[in-house]
Chains A and B, each alone.
Chain A
Amino acid sequence: MNYIFQFLTMMLTAVFIENIIFTRALGTSWMFYLAKRPKEIARYTLLLMAVITLSGVIGYPIRGLIYDSEYRHIVIPMMYIGVMAVVYIGVYFFIKKFLPGEFEHFGMNLGAAVFNCAALGGILIPSGERLDLISTIGYGIGMSLGFGFAVVIVGYGLSRIEYCRVPKPFKGVPIALIYLGLLSLAFYGLVGHQLPT
């Protein structure tokens, strides 16, 4: 029971309190890409969840061996990128063999969907905080759900902004960034933070 509670707590923390986009600013370019393609969100969120969870679990015992290294700030990420490479190869051949329709759908984007800042960040944050295995899995799943949640909110907002009279220099990337900043500020306040003075 304790494990389930721990798992759910970490998952909800990652979705709302430490949201991957609004709090950590990870995977924003990928989010902007998906925000324009609402039908793709579930597919890419599931793939992100699989990559973060599998890489987190495989890398967990190796992390314990190298965590006390003097160069851990560089060695641990390198190890995890190596693990992600192994996971990518596994996912590539799994989808190609068992889900050929999905494989065609992903096309060239499969690599980018696995190797991106959201995936690596979702693995490195629990590692840096030295979370145990249950929390690492819960946090990883929460991070990917939080990513999907953020894409839906931002995508909806951006689609509404298209109908507004935005000044010409602010059209496109500028207004999207300002909107993201305001959402990020709203989340910052929502979870009870106060601005530093």
Chain B
Amino acid sequence: MNQLKEKFGIKDSLAYIFFKNPVLVLGLVIGQLAAGDTTLQNGAALSVTYFLVTVPVLVFASVFGKKLPQWLRVVCYALVSTVMLVPAYFICGSFSATIFDSLGIYPVLLAVSTVPIVYSSKIAENSEPLSALMNGIGISLGFALTAIILGAAREFFGSGGLWGFKFADAVYPAVRLPFWGFILLGFMAAIVNLISEAVKKSEETKNSEEGNA
């Protein structure tokens, strides 16, 4: 099972969900979450959009990247991710007709975020398609985890509800402003660091105990 995981890069891909989280550990795609992810619905819409713009570009880069001239590669990656905004627009529209309007420019900016543009050029081009696919899924799940937790927390404290259903008075409406997004993401990143450190320590202890035995 472990060999299978290593062969398809599943182990590395799973790490993107938490221990190498693209937002909280690698510091990517911060702006869209800090400014746009103010409700649970927004978080879900951004997650769906991110999945749809990221995974196909990474697979495209691993299959065609090296066959294209250098100057054309980034253009193709940007265009592929842009085309994928169309299904994202209609899928997100199915759970709220005005979600793309209310999110403004933020879902669209995901098409030119770091992973589809930089990661495709520097890493995915040298990967196998299956490995690129798994990495894309891992990165998107990591992003979704952050987006959903942050969106839910900001909606709960900012407007006293979840998924549009209001069940309390707004505790602190300012939590929906971008500066609170940065601060909350900072605290979430610190929690991830704390957990990663604890896991690392427990693994080291386990290994040293096995070595002594």
Interface residues of A (CB under 8 A from B): 22-30, 32, 71, 73-74, 77-78, 81-82, 84-85, 88-89, 92-93, 108, 110-112, 114-117, 119-121, 124-125, 128, 167-178, 180-182, 184-185, 188, 195-197
Contact = CB atoms under 8 A, between A and B. Distances in A.
Contacts of B121: 108, 111-112
B127 interface: no
Contacts of A184: 178-179, 182
Given A81-B112, A120-B109, A196-B174, 13 more contacts: A26-B109, A28-B30, A73-B101, A112-B121, A115-B74, A116-B117, A120-B112, A173-B25, A174-B190, A176-B186, A177-B182, A178-B182, A197-B173
A168 B27 contact: no
Contacts of A197: 173
Interface stretch (B75-83, B136-144, B204-212): B75-83
Given A120-B109, A185-B179, A197-B173, A128 B104 contact: yes
Contacts of A78: 82-83, 85
B168 interface: no
A108 B183 CA distance: 32
B68 interface: no
24 contacts: A25-B34, A25-B35, A28-B34, A71-B89, A77-B82, A81-B78, A88-B74, A111-B117, A112-B74, A112-B118, A115-B112, A115-B117, A116-B117, A119-B112, A124-B108, A128-B104, A167-B190, A170-B186, A173-B27, A173-B189, A175-B186, A177-B185, A178-B183, A181-B183
B66 to A, nearest CB: 14
Given A112-B117, A171-B193, A128 B75 contact: no
A27 B104 contact: no
Nearest to B34: A25
Contacts, number: 169
B179 A188 contact: yes
Contacts of B30: 25, 28-29, 177
Contacts of A93: 71
Contacts of A82: 79, 82
Given A77-B105, A81-B79, A180 B113 contact: no
Given A24-B178, A74-B85, A169-B194, A177 B183 contact: yes
Nearest to B194: A169
Interface residues of B, number: 54
